[in-house]
Amino acid sequence: MTISSPPTTFFEGEPYHIEDAADSLTVSLYVPDSFDPNAQPADVVDIQKDRLRVHVRGEPTDRLKGWLFAAIDELKSLYLLHRDAKTGFRVLSLHLVKVARNEFEGMPAFPLLFSSGFDTPAPLPKTASLEDMDAHSVYLLGDFLLVRLRAAQRALDMYERAAQRGSIKACLKLAAWYHIGKEAQPAIPVSRDAKKALDYHIQAADLGHAEACLHVSYSLVPPTESPDADETKGVPSVTTTSPTPKDYVQAIRYCDKVRDICDAHKLGTSDLARMALWRAGNLLRDGANEASTTPANVTRAFEAFDTLATTCNDPLAMWTVAIYHIWGFGTPQNVEKGVALLRTARAADPALGMPPGLQGLNDDDDNDDVALDILIQVEAEARKSTESTDPGKILDVEGLIRVTRQIITQAGGSEHVQETIQAALDQVAAVKVHTIGAGAAAAAVAVAKPIEATTTTTTAARKKGRKSKRAKTLSPTVELAMGATVLAAVGLAVWMWVKTRRAHA
């Protein structure tokens, strides 16, 4: 297992975890591999009867610092350094043995670790600055005051202090309060303020909270109203109105940060990472202001969707990547690979229909497979004809579809292709297949809407949609004549290939 320096907080934003047992208390936190209180004086684990302090060498503030909620047996208490079995990170575990207050009372419970600052004995003075307590413990003290004492205003003061000193949980609490406001919940001591809510979410995101990053991304570029848009993959609850102008660049940056945080915590492609990939892919695909659909961003969009398809086997991601391969958008054009992915996606999720750009391929719903087989061979033959004059050019998919339809039409329908294709090909007049530039490819993919997967509808509705799609053609930038000889070669290749395919079926 590869070992690396761990984050300073757990994934949800807490610097430490507490396990409160009947007779002891265990406090756990990540520490660097180099942490060694026995050999390094600047690495500190100070366990006292009523106080506790942990400091990691080189860090500006203490990880743990405060006056314990109840006294412990400092002689029996100890610490242990070990590896987390799942991540390989080094963990410092503090085993604190409880002490009964007297012979008539049992062991005390610890609703929180500290009740006051390291140099400020309990009970906590209302005027205490708590500079001698770590930020997360200040946040927990605020929670205690809110829940146990119903002191919302004092809790607010604690949350604000903790947030100023870098507590992720305090930032999230304040963001939630300003998002809801006392207008909706009278127990909240602040008025609704969308800008402050976003500011606190941004602070939590910058401190390393993955879900806050995703929230910020959606706040900077709010979700669309369309039910078929990228938000169908599931997102956290966010406001649909942003207090700031749309900023695609920063929205994409925070999506990337989600993945970085998940990687840092060794979570792999977690749910949040998948959502961030979808989000980034769509933002890069759509583009705006500085995040325009440049070739680099188009490639990044493809890579985001492709990562989802390959690492998560997500059917909709495969469906989307198939369109990118077929149109040559963000990746070299490869119709055969795109069709293979399209078939895999539709087999995994039968609700996925043919992409809108391919719905004009065949009128027979039950024979899409045959039409796709022919399309592959048409593209292969057309590619041979263009490589000598326009190597690497993107073939116009609309032109490939027209040739495929002519083959099927002259054969009397896709169900008759095996018997009549060669005869039909001999009668087809010269046709044209175009090569197009990257801009036209982008336009084609925009028409296809790779993320907006269509679901299977009635035959009549699908045929109606296909007719309208066939009426739309792209303006080619380079034309290439494909004469009867090339078309006949296409037909022969298709004939031989279909026979072989059927023989092995």
The residue ranking higher by pLDDT, 119 or 418, is 119
pLDDT for the residue numbered 357: 84
Q: Is residue 149 part of a domain?
A: no
Task: List, in order, residues 6 or more apart from 444 with CB less than 8 Å away.
Answer: 327, 329, 357, 397, 398, 436, 474
pLDDT for the residue numbered 405: 86
Q: Which percentage of the chain shows pLDDT scores above 70?
A: 72
pLDDT in tens, 343-355: 999 999 999 999 9
Print the domain residue range for 72.
1-101+108-133
Instruction: Read off the pLDDT band of 425 (50, 70, 90).
Output: very low
Q: Is residue 72 part of a domain?
A: yes
* Residue 267 to residue 278: CA distance in whole angstroms: 17
Helix (H/G/I), strand (E/B), else coil: 256: helix
Tokens of 82: 């070990």
Cβ-based neighbour number of residue 453 at 10 Å:
22
Instruction: Read off the pLDDT band of 505 (50, 70, 90).
Output: very low
* Residue 350 to residue 139: CA distance in whole angstroms: 49
Please compute the mean of the pLDDT values over residues 446-459 and round it to a whole number: 43
Q: Is residue 28 part of a domain?
A: yes
Please compute the mean of the pLDDT values over residues 30-48 and round it to a whole number: 97
Q: Is residue 79 part of a domain?
A: yes
Total structural domains in the chain? 1
Q: Is residue 31 part of a domain?
A: yes
Q: Is residue 73 part of a domain?
A: yes
pLDDT at residue 52 is higher than 80:
yes
pLDDT for the residue numbered 122: 82
pLDDT at residue 366 is higher than 70:
no
What's the chain's Rg over C-alpha atoms?
31
CATH of the domain at 76: 2.60.40.790
pLDDT for the residue numbered 384: 82
Highest mean pLDDT among 119-123, 135-139, 441-445: 135-139
Helix (H/G/I), strand (E/B), else coil: 136: helix
Please compute the mean of the pLDDT values over residues 201-222 and round it to a whole number: 97
pLDDT at residue 471 is higher than 60:
no
Please compute the mean of the pLDDT values over residues 289-318 and round it to a whole number: 86
Summary mean pLDDT of the chain: 81
pLDDT at residue 492 is higher than 90:
no
Instruction: Read off the pLDDT band of 4 (50, 70, 90).
Output: low
* Signed CA dihedral, 379, 384, 389, 390: sign only: positive
pTM: 0.78
Please compute the mean of the pLDDT values over residues 455-468 and round it to a whole number: 38
Q: Is residue 87 part of a domain?
A: yes
Instruction: Read off the pLDDT band of 391 (50, 70, 90).
Output: low
Low-confidence winner among 82-96, 210-224, 284-298 (lowest mean pLDDT): 284-298
Instruction: Read off the pLDDT band of 225 (50, 70, 90).
Output: low
Q: Is residue 115 part of a domain?
A: yes
* Packed helices 210-220 and 168-184: angle between N→C axes, nearest 10 degrees: 50
The residue ranking higher by pLDDT, 217 or 446, is 217
Tell me the residue ranges of DSSP E strands in 56-133: 64-68, 72-83, 90-98, 114-116
pLDDT for the residue numbered 363: 66
pLDDT at residue 501 is higher than 90:
no
pLDDT for the residue numbered 288: 60
